[in-house]
Amino acid sequence: MIDFPPYFIERLERRLEAFETSRTNEHRVMHLRVEPEPAADAPKEGSGCHQEPQRTADVAVPIRTLQALASIFEVLHSVHVGRQQGQPDNGFGEYLVEGLIITGRELVRSSADAMWSRS
């Protein structure tokens, strides 16, 4: 059996409980804040020949996607802290860490694709 640090188990249990209670309301959506325009005296990046990216958009991400990303970040952070403190591997090899990163990217990509296909 793999030994996990107690703080990891407690955080995971809290996340699972929060996820279970959120499943009752499937249609909740979290609206993200729009990034403010840069200050007028802020230095411009690049040579100026490229088009300025769009800074405003109506972005809505399903709450489940945000919860899944939060859980992925929580696990990755726990693994990172454990490695910094010299703890044993805890069963999370590089392939599992890479899998979590890929999964997170796919969650973000699917939300972005859904948003751009609606506009």
Q: What is the pLDDT of residues 18-56, one digit of tens each?
A: 776 665 555 555 666 666 777 776 666 655 555 555 655
Give pLDDT tens digits for 64-102. Answer: 888 888 888 988 888 888 888 887 766 778 888 888 888
Given a cut of 70, is residue 4 above it in pLDDT? Answer: yes
Cβ partners under 8 Å of residue 110, min gap 6: 65
Supply the pTM of this predicted model: 0.47
Structure tokens at 16: 């699972």
Neighbours of 18 (CB within 10 A): 12
Give pLDDT tens digits for 54-71. Answer: 655 566 677 888 888 888
Mean pLDDT of the chain: 74
